[in-house]
């Protein structure tokens, strides 16, 4: 985990984990505990990326407070996809932000 990230955890139900892992385009195994991907000290609710879904969108979970045993909301959001160029000696790479479009705080490059 990036030390600048908020990192507050949320616990997902087994049903939701199973649903997310059944996504036809799923990119990885969703774990029962997710941690907030936003910049530390961010305003508003916590958000964690969970799973890839349709093109350029993903499943996110958002919640308030410390998340343990609390309510949360699953939703599909469009990716931010702002990019920055990272120059190397003889070529340039493009890194994309992995947060959702309209997120608060800095991009997650
Ligand atoms: Zn957070
Ligand atoms: Zn961004």
The torsion region of residue 99 among left (phi > 0), alpha (psi -120 to 50) and beta comes to beta
Identify which of 1, 79, 63, 73 has the alpha carbon closest to the alpha carbon of residue 37.
1
Low-confidence ranges of the chain (pLDDT < 70): 1-3
The CA-atom distances, in angstroms, between 81 and each of 18, 73, 98 are 27, 22, 7
Q: 67 CA to middle of ligand 2, Å?
A: 24
Residues with CB under 5 A from ligand 2 (ion): 80, 82, 97, 99, 107
- Closest ligand, as measured to the CA of 36: 1
pLDDT value for 14: 95
Q: 88 CA to middle of ligand 1, Å?
A: 32
């Amino acid at each position: 985990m990036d030390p600048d990230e908020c990192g507050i955890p949320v616990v997902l139900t087994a049903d939701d984990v199973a649903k997310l892992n059944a996504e036809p385009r799923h990119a990885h195994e969703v774990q029962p505990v997710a941690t907030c991907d936003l910049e530390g000290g961010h305003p508003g609710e916590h958000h964690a990326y969970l799973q890839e879904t349709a093109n350029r969108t993903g499943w996110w979970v958002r919640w308030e407070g410390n998340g343990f045993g609390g309510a949360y909301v699953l939703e599909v959001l469009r990716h931010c996809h702002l990019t920055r160029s990272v120059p190397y000696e003889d070529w340039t790479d493009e890194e994309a932000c992995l947060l959702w479009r309209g997120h608060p705080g800095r991009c997650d490059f």
